[in-house]
Amino acid sequence: MIELTNVERSYRTGPTETWVLRQVNLTIRPGEFVTVTGPSGAGKSSLLNVLAMLDDQWKGDFLFEGEAVQGMTRKQRADLARRRIGMVFQSYHLLDDLTVAENIDLPLSYKDIPRKERQALVADTLDRFNIVGKKDLYPSQLSGGQQQLVGIARAVIHRPSLLLADEPTGNLHSEQAKEIMDLFCKLNQEGATIVQVTHSKENAQFGSRILELRDGWVYSDTSAKRTAGVQS
Amino acid sequence: MTGTLLQDIRYSLRQLSKSPGFTLTAVMTLALGIGANAAIFTLVQGILLRSLPVKDPGQLYRVGDQDDCCVNGGYMNENGDFDLFSYDLYLHLRSSAPEFEQLAGMQSGQNSYSVRRGNAISKSLRAEYVTGNYFETLGIGPFMGRMLTENDDAAAATPVVVLSYEAWQSEFSGDGTMIGSTVTINGQALTVAGITPRGFFGDRISDRPPALWMPIQTEPLIAGPGTILHHQDSNWLYLLGRAKPGTNILALQSKLSIALRQWLATRPMYTDNGGSAELPKQHVVIVPGGGGIQNLQQETGTGLRMLMGLSAVVLLIACANIANLLLARGTARRSEISIRMALGAGRGRLIRQIITESILLSCIGGVASLAVAYAGSHMILSLAFPDARSMPIDGSPSLPVLGFAFLVSLVTGVLFGIAPAWLTSHAQPAEALRGSGGSGRSARDRSSLPQKVLVVVQVVLSLALLVSASLMSKSLANLEHMDFGIASSNRYVVHVDPAGAGYTMEKLPSLYHELESRFAAMPGVSGVGMALYSPLEGNNWGECVIPQGYPAPGPNSHCNSTWDRVNAHYLATIGVPMVRGREFTEQDTPTSLPVAMVNETFVKRFFPQGDPVGKHFGIDLPQYSSSFEIVGVFKDFKINNPREATRPVFMRPLTQYLTAYKEPPIIGGEVQSMFVNSLILRFNGPQQDVESLIRRTLAEVNPNLTVQDLRSLDAQVAGNFNQDRLIARLTTLFGILALVVASVGLYGVTSYFVARRTSEIGIRMALGATRNQVLQLIARGVVVQLGLGLLFGVPAAMLTGHFIVSQLYGVSAYDPVSLFSAAAVLAFCALVAGMIPARRAASIEPMQALRTE
């Protein structure tokens, strides 16, 4: 599904160039549940941004479902992301003035989907995530776990083939975190490919594959059954 | 209290210096807003609110309240309001009103005269006939020499003249030997008795105040056979008196009205032909005279008040804009305010702190506005009075103007400071201290509601100003491009004063002949016109016309017709075609049949039946009704006020003096009309150096024949619209200012809105919103504010149109084209201003936006 070859990303601050991703080679197959771990500054979120196509300043080759992302225009990448990718954020990123239902509807509102169809999809999703009773509440009226549930519902409503989650349980206590991770497992079993970034070793175990980054390099990958030494 | 105030000021100064961009923008906006108001107020104060620089102006009263001018015969206004008086009537009223310590008479229409000292070249100076008690009435003593006294009213008194300080300085180089010396005025020797104090400009504010004051008894000497001093029915004086303390002015008004009617009842002119019926309603109105004769005030008052209103709107827009900036700052300072509140600051204390800052800001703006006011008022003065000479209005800010600017600054500061102060001081400290006061991902952003309301207010006011600007510009264009009925291009008007150069009636024919032949020989000249006065120069001679065989007209018969005396081929020179008959030719001589040409309106009014050519008419009295034979009818053209409907006009040849008249007033008018004042030269094409050519030619005829005024006929026509042009330009300037300020306001609010919604935009883009969709999201807000502004702006603009309708010509106050074009311009600028931050929002990198979380 995803094939990264020699992907590199750096930031230039004055004369200094800071590398956040170094020669990343990675293949993710459909249906995998990949956990990206590593210490702060290892490049986890940068990798996620590349995969989410929010970043286009990287170098290297990126094939998404057989399409070469590096050759696409910004607009083409945005179109592709809109159709195929869903995002879940650590701090939920729900819009305060929209109700639960309106927040979930948000990604659909950016597609050419008739209103009735959208309403049906929102109703299905609310039902699927057991939050029908909360559809008219505002984010501030929900607990952190409930907010993240809405965030995930919003991310998957358009049935993306890839679900990206950046520290999805970072703001939740352990019980809530477990519920969310169970939900991810369920979604994965239903066919979604998931890439999550987490600090938590406990939550990392929910994935079928663990990728560890250090200083921008792929330090370990349980799928590849290999461990690379830290390169300087 | 003083300590905390000083602390507030110190803190405010520190706050302002910390944000130089904000401070500069606010100060510039305020400087323009307050400066525009102060500039207009400089004129309002200088023209409308000013008292004459005389002793106890509050004691002065004018008998009469209209601005009639200059010599009038018969009843004056439809309602019987008398404001011009003959000399004899003045004496009668004066003797009837001992309640006046002094009652002075002064010439209503001042004239320019050729004044020469020794062998020096003549100067054209403005002079005014006044009664001997004029200076005593005003309480003005001499700077040098003596002022006029009642002794100068004696017929046998030595003719003297009083010189203004300004004329003494500018025309006679402040010569210390001036007192007692002789000057020649229109060929008559007068002794300089004294010089007025510096700054004294007479009994009225005008763009050309008198340089000389002459005793009324010198009028027969200087005017010669054209004198009107002792014509009991020629009304030409304004009256200004100093009332005794405690005088009941209303009772005095009734008393003088009775005296007026008594006097009129003795004059056949007012009683004959049914005139007695009009007598009961004749009256005078006594008005405060501390500001002098209010002619200029009456001419410019409406325009000035309108400009005052429009400049106040500009200031309101500026206030709304700065309130917006302060609201944005207030939001940014919410955590600081919260800390202050958490530390025990009361709301009142916080509001005072914020208001102090806004007042300080407005005072800095007020100081900067003085520069704008100085430049603005000078520009306005030069636009409004381009021909001004020694005008007694100073464009520099005076004490009242400084006070006005300070007051406006204070009010402005409070006005734009209150809303931000109130909103900021109502911050919830606990919420603010917890962080951003919420998640900061509000999609509606309720906190910016007051800002959006202020933008809507700015759009409403701007539309009103822009529509006013459009209406005034259209009105000016209508005035300037109306069909005046004359050809004005490549024509020059020269004003001369043959009487002042010493010419008598006998010498006039040879002078006119020489002028005509000399100017006709000038290179490029294709026509020479000579007239008592030229079209649209502001002069008008009128007479009561009586067609042959008709009885004497009654008092309400509307027999008046404008008339002018012109040379042969005059109409061809100014491009007016004949409709019937012929123009004057060289065959119209002093001994040939007395003839006249009339305009189409004259024919409609006096000869509606049959062919007017060959018919006869006369003036004033039935016995003269066959005086002139009509030889031609010319097309109507604008000879005096271009705004008015064309009046009946007749013209008589320069060569024909009617000797049949027996009545001195009519003879006086006949004599005076023989002295042409205007030469009109028609050139084949545009000319270089016309002025020196003309001056040289005139000097060759007679060095004393000085040029009183020289300008193109185009410029003379355009001069009729100086006030309209000023108002149109200023309104346009205000409109542009409003447009810029409102656009900046919308830009600022939208930018602020975008900045606050950066993370929301990032989330939306991360969830799939395209850049176009983000652009639409922001643009929607802009369009809503703009739409609401236009919605409320249309009735506001129509209301403004209703208020300025008296200033409009040929355009409706609700002109849809002006409304639509102003709305289109405003919408375009507002959309551009709103789209810049909207585009910025659309280019936000979602990754970066999310990172700011």
Q: Which residue of A has its CA nearest to B442?
A: A96
Which of B759, B767, B853 faces A107 most closely, judged by CB atoms?
B767
Asked if the Cβ–Cβ distance from B770 to A75 is below 8 Å, we say yes
Average pLDDT, chain B: 87
Q: Which of B573, B637, B624 is closest to B594 using CA atoms?
A: B624
Nearest residue of A to residue B844, measured between CA atoms:
A54
Q: What are the backbone angles phi and psi of residue A48, rounded to the nearest 5°?
A: -65, -40
Q: At what angle do helices B399-425 and B20-43 cross, to 10 degrees?
A: 140
Residue B270 Cα distances to B24, B80, B553, angstroms: 69, 12, 12
Q: Which two tokens stand for residue B688?
A: 């270089």
Which CATH number goes with the domain that contains A51? 3.40.50.300
Residue B438 has pLDDT above 70, yes or no: no
| Residue A145 is assigned to a structural domain of this protein | yes
Taking the C-alpha atoms of residue A57 and residue B847, their distance in angstroms, rounded to an integer, is 11
Q: Are B115 and B123 in contact (CB under 8 A)?
A: yes
- Determine contact, residues A87/A164, Cβ cutoff 8 Å: yes
Extract the tokens encoding B706.
């000085």
Q: Which two tokens stand for residue B578?
A: 């004949």
Identify the pLDDT of residue B3.
Answer: 61
Residues of A in contact with B766 (CB under 8 A): 52, 54, 87, 89, 93
Q: Nearest by CB to B770, which of A49, A54, A78? A: A78
In three-state secondary structure terms, A1 is: coil
Provide the shortest C-alpha distance from residue A204 to chain B (in Å): 23
What SS3 class is residue B102? Answer: strand
Nearest residue in chain B measured CA to CA from A55: B847
Could you give the CA distance from residue B101 to residue B242 in angstroms, rounded to a whole number?
Answer: 6
Which among B759, B767, B845 is the nearest to A106, CB-wise?
A: B767
Question: A142 lies in a domain?
Answer: yes
User: In chain B, whose CA is at the least distance from the CA of A138?
Assistant: B442
Residue A232 placed within a domain: no
Q: Using the beta-carbon criterion (under 8 Å), do A54 and B441 form an inter-chain contact?
A: no
Give the DSSP letter of residue B489. Answer: T
Nearest to A49 among B760, B768, B847 (CB): B847
DSSP letters spanning B644-709: SPPPPEEEEETT-------SHHHHHHHHHTTS--EEEEEESS--SSHHHHHHHHHHHH-TT---SE
Q: Letter for the amino acid at B89?
A: L
Q: How far is CA A32 from CA A29, A184, A188, in A?
A: 6, 11, 7
The percent of residues in chain B predicted with pLDDT above 70, rounded, is 94
Inter-chain CB proximity A89 and B764 less than 8 Å? no
Split at pLDDT 50, 70, 90, the class of A140 is confident
- B39 touches B372 (CB < 8 A): yes
pLDDT digits (tens, 9 = 90+) for B582-613: 999 999 999 999 999 999 999 999 999 989 99
A146 found inside a domain = yes
Whether A37 and A44 have beta carbons less than 8 Å apart is answered as yes
Single-letter code of the amino acid located at B670: E
Lowest mean pLDDT among A117-126, B39-48, B670-679: B39-48
* pLDDT of res. B823: 93
| Residues A32-91: tens digit of each pLDDT | 999 999 988 888 888 988 998 888 889 999 999 989 999 898 888 888 888 888 888 887
Instruction: Indicate yes or no: CB of A97 within 8 angstroms of CB of B442.
Output: yes
Total Cβ atoms within 10 A of residue B233: 18
How close B791 gets to chain A, by Cα (Å)? 27
Query: Which residues does B438 contact at the CB level (< 8 Å), separation at least 6?
Result: A96, A140, B431
Q: Are B851 and A90 in contact (CB under 8 A)?
A: no
What confidence score (pLDDT) does residue A18 get? 86
Are B767 and A110 an interchain contact pair (Cβ–Cβ within 8 Å)?
A: yes
Give me the number of domains chain A comprises: 1
Look at residue B560 and give its three-state secondary structure: strand
Question: Would you say residue A37 lies in a domain?
Answer: yes
Integer Cα distance of B611 and B626 in angstroms? 16
Contact B763 A95 (CB under 8 A): yes
Please tell me the distance in Å from A107's CA to the nearest CA on chain B.
5
CB-CB contact of A100 with A134 (8 Å): yes
Chain B partners within 8 Å of A94 (Cβ): 439, 441
Bigger pLDDT: A189 vs B299: A189
Measured in angstroms, the CA of A164 and the nearest CA of chain B are apart by: 11
Size of interface A-B (CB pairs under 8 A): 62
d(CA B145, CA B163): 10
Q: How close does chain B come to A229, measured CA to CA in Å?
A: 30
Question: Can you read off the two tokens belonging to residue A230?
Answer: 């830290």
Q: The pTM is what?
A: 0.75
> CA of A226, closest CA in chain B: separation in Å?
31
| Radius of gyration of chain B from its Cα atoms, rounded to whole angstroms | 34
Q: In the structure, what pLDDT confidence band is assigned to residue A229 with cuts at 50, 70 and 90?
A: very low
Between B204 and A128, the higher pLDDT residue? B204
Name the strands in the sheet holding A33-37, side by side, starting at the edge strand that comes first in the sequence: A85-88, A162-166, A193-197, A33-37, A209-214, A217-221, A226-227
The answer to whether the CB atoms of B441 and A94 lie below 8 A apart is yes
**Domain extent for A223:** 2-227
Cα–Cα dist B99/B63, whole Å: 13
DSSP B241: E
pLDDT in tens, B243-281: 999 999 999 999 999 999 999 999 988 888 888 888 999
Inter-chain CB proximity B768 and A75 less than 8 Å: no
